[in-house]
Amino acid sequence: MRDLKDPHDLTVQDFRSTVHSFEFWFEAVEGYLHGRPYGVTPHSVEADFSDHQRDALITTLCNYCVGETAALEASSGMIAFAPDLNAKIFLSTQVVDEGRHLEVLMHRMAMLGVVDQEAEIKSRANRSLVQFKDRLLEFVDLRDWEAAVFAQNVILECLEFTVFQHHATVADAITAQMLRGIVSDERRHMGFGENDLGRRLLAAPHTHDRLARIKRELDTLVISAFAEAMRQIEIDPENQPDLAGHYLAAVARLGFRP
Ligand SMILES: [Fe+2]
Ligand SMILES: [Fe+2]
């Protein structure tokens, strides 16, 4: 397996020949998918959940599924209007990643006894997250590349990366293992968004103001979805991951001031 450096550390040339490449994608994911059906080592031992813990985990997984479905639908739709062929190739890898994320999350729900995952997701979905998804898909319907990449590959990916990474440190062993595999992909998706928009902002500085407006609009939904996720995982405010810090760091790399 080729070692995947942090996408933020790559030069533009290296970035294009790695993150944009299907060939590289396959080698990168093979390392953490091989021998782990549904993202988990076979015969892993299930934790001894109380009814309350199981129910809270199912709600959390349902909301992760909303985010993954948003990314799956958006990234597949974006292929049609991506500005160049390399971006289309990258998005094809993201579509596969998001489809896999959705599948492993639904499989985890089945392991926890959920029979009809779709119905469960609908009934437990967080309203802010659903609103975020609707807004993202509007950008896709409008074929608005900058807004769609920003909302999906910077904002949504940053939220997912932060929540999944933190949840993996406190979750039961099976959920933690599955989340670590997902986080490796989300890091790649964030890197693409920042690289694409970074170059675009340099070339057309007026897009900065547009994206700042979109950021302000989506901030409320992101913060509300994050607070709800932390409540479900039962993380005290003083032990919560620094979403604001990660988020501000991601947008600061694009040249936004807080
Ligand atoms: Fe994902
Ligand atoms: Fe993603």
Q: What percent of the chain has pLDDT over 70?
A: 86
Distance 178 CA to ligand 1 centre (A): 12
Within-domain flag for 1:
no
CATH of the domain at 72: 1.20.1260.10
Ligand 2 mean position to 50 CA, how many Å? 31
Number of domains forming the structure of the chain: 1
Within-domain flag for 76: yes
Kindly list the distances between the CA atom of residue 100 and the CA atoms of 16, 51, 71, in Å, as whole numbers in the listed order: 23, 28, 11
Higher pLDDT, 118 or 39: 118
CA of 42 to the centre of ligand 2 (A): 25
Residue 212 is predicted with a pLDDT of 87
Distance CA 24, CA 1 (A): 9
Residue 3 maps to a domain: no
Ligand nearest the Cα of residue 102 is: 1
> What confidence tens digit (pLDDT) does each residue in 61-108 have?
999 999 999 999 999 999 999 999 989 999 999 999 999 999 999 999
For residue 211, count other CB atoms closer than 10 A to its CB. 23
Ligand 1 centroid distance, CA of 142 (Å): 22
Of residues 202 and 79, more confidence is placed in 79
Distance 67 CA to ligand 1 centre (A): 7
Residue 186 forms part of a structural domain: yes
pLDDT band for position 17 (cuts 50, 70, 90): low
Q: Is the pLDDT of residue 257 over 50?
A: yes
pLDDT at site 125: 93
Asked whether 12 and 38 are in contact (CB, 8 A), the reply is: no
pLDDT for position 12: 63
Top pLDDT among 20 and 146 is at 146
Give the span between the Cα atoms of 151 and 204, in whole angstroms: 18
Give the pLDDT score at 2.
43
- Output 243 or 74, whichever has higher pLDDT: 74
Distance in Å, CA 186 to ligand 2 centroid: 4
Q: What is the largest CA-CA distance in the chain?
A: 54
Choice among 24-33, 190-199, 242-251 with the minimum mean pLDDT: 24-33
30 pLDDT more than 90: no
| Closest listed residue to residue 225, CA positions, set 151, 173, 172 | 151
d(CA 155, CA 161): 10
253 vs 4 pLDDT, higher one: 253
Which ligand is the nearest neighbour of the Cα of 69?
1
pLDDT digits 0-9 by tens, 144-185: 999 999 999 999 998 899 889 989 999 999 999 999 999 988
Inside any domain, residue 180: yes
Contacts of residue 59, Cβ cutoff 8 Å, sequence gap at least 6: 124, 232
pLDDT band at residue 3, thresholds of 50, 70 and 90?
very low
The pTM assigned to this predicted structure is 0.87
| CA 33 – ligand 1 centroid, Å | 15
Report the separation in Å between the CA atom of 53 and the middle of ligand 1, taken as the mean of its atom positions.
Answer: 24
Q: What is the pLDDT of residue 174?
A: 95
Question: What average pLDDT is seen over the chain?
Answer: 86
pLDDT for 219: 86
Q: Look up the domain containing 190 and give its range.
A: 9-39+50-253
> What is the distance in A from the centroid of ligand 1 to the CA of 186?
6
Task: Count Cβ atoms below 10 Å from residue 84 Cβ, excluding itself.
Answer: 11
Within a domain: residue 258?
no
